[in-house]
């Protein structure tokens, strides 16, 4: 007999039929004559209730049915008086894999997220983490669907790179040299000409520069790959290894770029609302449970309400300079409540400032544009004022920056000047400059941090809980 998955069984109309199901035991409840087993196979949040009449089974088998054990059950599908429409009356039970109830770390009770991080190899088996995994998958699919529908091409950009000027922070070096005894040049420095690639190489912090090369031929492309940042920031929004989606479009200016970013985020959130209802409902209840411990004014909107709110409202668009003005006049600034003071034009905005604008001042997502040139990367287009660049950051409640992007500097001379001023080695970037030498066109793009999106959509408080195995400073388990 072919195994059926629980997702399909719970929707089944085939009352009275004999079916076969496999999964893991979440809980078992024993009464004198019957055992009620909640079986989950990860295909959906809900469990299938299996009813085993004690007299029909060997006592030894029933004893092995513990939380965490894997079972295959053949039985009759009947209507249920319980939470689900149907349940399974067991005829045969095979214990496929046992789990010692005294040792299995996941007891059928609430575990803290911190504890579950330590057993991330098992946390997929909880409702919370299986729900997140399913939402994550839905979002991956929606990303490809959105861009495919719009005629974008997916490009794989390299993970190992020799350019260290992407300007997004510290990089992880990649080497095969013996670190205990590296070859040296005459002046005592490490001789990287003897390294695997014959030069210093690192893990990429962004696929943008290579993405631009493709966009200036294919018109609209996107990358969706792993990115690595060795920034020592122990926050709830930073990972050392995360996934980023980077569209890049020829003939798009900053306004086109903003329109696309807003449409994209709304599409993804809508997709989750339409396709992940059961999981979102569960995550919403989980979040509200957690919010109960917070003071009233710090509690966030109910998850689904919050997602709908973002989809239904226009994002606010304003310039960095306007934002600085609002921040300087704000109550927390007047009262000295910001940890980092807002000094005026040139101040790099911190998460607390971004969240003030979004959560307190405008109460909706904000796109900030036209940042001071000196706090942004070299490739951003210089505005006519000469001191700002055509950058855009999309700011979300709870998350702060979810997207960072810009219109790119397409004018060769101005780009070269800026690179010199910012100390970017021109020789190494000659390939990049070729796009400006030959058929250069205005173009734009942005980067969406995939885990920041998932943090928002699932209502989780910490980015470490929305990637299966988080890599953060001093933490690289599993
Ligand atoms: P932040 O100021 O929050 O550190 P950033 O300015 O370094 O972000 P970008 O270099 O513009 O970010 O990267 C594009 C997007 O990638 C960000 O908007 C964010 O969504 C995501 N991102 C950046 N750094 C991280 C990280 N360490 N972990 C997870 N996502 C990140
Ligand atoms: Mn950063």
pLDDT tens figures, 176-224? 999 999 999 999 999 999 999 999 999 999 999 999 999 999 999 999 9
Residue indicated by tokens 């390294």: 195
Residues 139 and 38 in one domain: no
* Cα 194 from Cα 329, distance rounded (Å): 57
What does the pLDDT average to over 8-14?
Answer: 91
200 part of a folded domain: no
Residues 49 and 137 in one domain: no
Provide the residue range defining the domain that includes 294.
124-170+205-465
Whether ligand 1 lies within 6 angstroms of the CB of 447 is answered as yes
Residue 428 CB contacts under 8 Å (≥ 6 apart), including other chains? 162, 163, 165
> Residue 69 gets which letter from DSSP?
-
277 part of a folded domain: yes
Whether ligand 1 lies within 6 angstroms of the CB of 394 is answered as no
325 part of a folded domain: yes
254 part of a folded domain: yes
Whether ligand 1 lies within 6 angstroms of the CB of 376 is answered as no
What is residue 108's predicted lDDT score, i.e. its pLDDT?
Answer: 84
Which atom from ligand 1 is nearest to the alpha carbon of 402?
A: 20
* Cα 293 from Cα 461, distance rounded (Å): 13
Q: Whose CA is nearest to atom 9 of ligand 1?
A: 404
Q: Measured in whole angstroms, how far is the alpha carbon of residue 441 from the centre of its chain?
A: 32
CATH assignment of the domain containing 272: 3.30.930.10
Residues 294 and 379 in one domain: yes
* 449 CA → ligand 1 middle, Å: 6
Phi-psi region of 276 (alpha: psi -120 to 50; beta: other; left: phi over 0): alpha
Whether ligand 1 lies within 6 angstroms of the CB of 402 is answered as yes
Residues 148 and 235 in one domain: yes
189 part of a folded domain: no
Boundary residue ending a domain (54, 78, 105): 105
Whether ligand 1 lies within 6 angstroms of the CB of 244 is answered as yes
CATH assignment of the domain containing 58: 2.40.50.140
* Cα 325 from Cα 267, distance rounded (Å): 32
Report which of 115, 137, 133, 114 is spatially closest to residue 125, judged by C-alpha positions. 133
Phi-psi region of 93 (alpha: psi -120 to 50; beta: other; left: phi over 0): beta
Decide if 66 contacts 28 (C-beta within 8 A).
Answer: yes
Q: Whose CA is nearest to atom 2 of ligand 1?
A: 401
pLDDT tens figures, 402-427? 999 999 999 999 999 999 999 898 99
What is residue 134's predicted lDDT score, i.e. its pLDDT?
Answer: 98
What is residue 166's predicted lDDT score, i.e. its pLDDT?
Answer: 59
What is residue 232's predicted lDDT score, i.e. its pLDDT?
Answer: 81
* 282 CA → ligand 2 middle, Å: 31
Residues 132 and 100 in one domain: no
pLDDT tens figures, 135-169? 999 999 999 999 999 999 999 999 999 986 655 56
Residues 89 and 10 in one domain: yes
30, containing H or E segment: strand 18-30
Residues 217 and 93 in one domain: no
* Cα 478 from Cα 466, distance rounded (Å): 16
Q: Hey, which bits of 209-257 come out as E strands?
A: 220-228, 241-250
Q: Measured in whole angstroms, how far is the alpha carbon of residue 262 from the centre of its chain?
A: 17
Number of domains into which the chain is organized: 2
Q: Whose CA is nearest to atom 20 of ligand 1?
A: 449
What does the pLDDT average to over 170-180?
Answer: 95
Residues 80 and 133 in one domain: no
What is residue 297's predicted lDDT score, i.e. its pLDDT?
Answer: 72
Residues 95 and 130 in one domain: no
What is residue 167's predicted lDDT score, i.e. its pLDDT?
Answer: 56
Helices (H), 292-411: 303-312, 320-329, 331-334, 351-355
Average pLDDT of the chain, as a whole number = 95
Q: Whose CA is nearest to atom 24 of ligand 1?
A: 238
Q: What band does 449 get if pLDDT is binned at 50, 70 and 90?
A: very high
Boundary residue ending a domain (55, 77, 105): 105
What does the pLDDT average to over 13-42?
Answer: 96
Residues 78 and 227 in one domain: no
Residues 97 and 130 in one domain: no
Residues 132 and 91 in one domain: no
Torsion of CA 451, 456, 457, 458, to 10 degrees: 80
215 part of a folded domain: yes
What is residue 169's predicted lDDT score, i.e. its pLDDT?
Answer: 64
pLDDT tens figures, 323-357? 999 999 999 999 999 999 999 999 999 999 999 99
pLDDT tens figures, 341-398? 999 999 999 999 999 999 999 999 999 999 999 999 999 999 999 999 999 999 999 8
Whether ligand 1 lies within 6 angstroms of the CB of 451 is answered as yes
């Amino acid at each position: 007999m072919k195994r059926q998955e629980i997702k399909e069984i719970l929707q089944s109309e085939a009352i009275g039929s004999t079916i076969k199901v496999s999964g893991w035991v979440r809980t078992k409840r024993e009464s004198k004559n019957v055992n009620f087993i909640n079986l989950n196979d990860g295909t959906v949040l809900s469990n299938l209730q299996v009813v085993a009449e004690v007299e029909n089974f060997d006592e030894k088998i029933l004893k092995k049915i513990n939380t965490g054990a894997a079972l295959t059950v053949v039985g009759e599908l009947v209507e249920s008086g319980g939470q689900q429409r149907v349940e399974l009356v067991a005829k045969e039970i095979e214990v496929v894999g046992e789990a010692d109830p005294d040792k299995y770390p996941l007891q059928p009770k609430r575990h803290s997220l911190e504890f579950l991080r330590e057993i991330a190899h098992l946390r997929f088996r909880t409702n919370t983490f299986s729900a997140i995994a399913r939402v994550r998958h839905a979002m991956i699919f929606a990303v490809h669907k959105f861009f495919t529908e719009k005629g974008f091409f997916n490009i794989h950009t390299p993970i190992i790179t020799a350019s260290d000027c992407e300007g997004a922070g510290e990089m992880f070096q990649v080497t095969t040299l013996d670190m205990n005894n590296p070859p040296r040049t005459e002046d005592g420095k490490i001789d990287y000409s003897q390294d695997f690639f014959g030069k210093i190489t690192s893990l990429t912090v962004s696929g943008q520069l290579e993405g631009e090369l493709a966009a200036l031929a294919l018109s609209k492309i996107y990358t969706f790959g792993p990115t690595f940042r060795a920034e020592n920031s122990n926050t709830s929004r930073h990972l050392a290894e995360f996934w980023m989606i980077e569209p890049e479009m020829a003939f798009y200016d900053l306004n086109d770029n903003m329109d696309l970013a807003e449409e994209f985020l709304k599409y993804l959130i809508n997709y989750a609302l339409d396709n992940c209802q059961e999981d979102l409902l569960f995550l919403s209840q989980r979040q509200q449970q957690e919010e109960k411990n917070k003071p009233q004014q710090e509690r966030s909107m109910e998850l689904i309400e919050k997602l709908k709110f973002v989809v239904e409202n226009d994002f606010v668009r304003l310039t960095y300079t306007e934002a600085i003005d609002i921040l300087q006049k704000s109550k927390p600034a007047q009262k000295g409540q910001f940890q980092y003071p807002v000094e005026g034009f040139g101040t790099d905005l911190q998460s607390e400032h971004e969240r003030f604008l979004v959560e307190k001042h405008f109460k909706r997502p904000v796109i900030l544009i036209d940042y001071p040139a000196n706090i942004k990367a070299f490739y951003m287009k210089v505005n006519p004022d000469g001191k700002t660049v055509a950058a855009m950051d999309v700011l979300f409640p709870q998350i702060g920056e979810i997207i960072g992007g810009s219109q790119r500097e397409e004018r060769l001379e101005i780009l070269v000047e800026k690179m010199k001023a910012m100390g970017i080695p021109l020789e190494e970037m000659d390939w990049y400059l070729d796009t400006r030498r030959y058929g250069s066109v205005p173009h734009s793009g942005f980067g969406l941090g995939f885990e920041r999106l998932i943090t928002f959509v699932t209502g989780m408080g910490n980015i470490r809980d929305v990637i299966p195995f988080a890599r953060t400073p001093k933490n690289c388990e599993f």
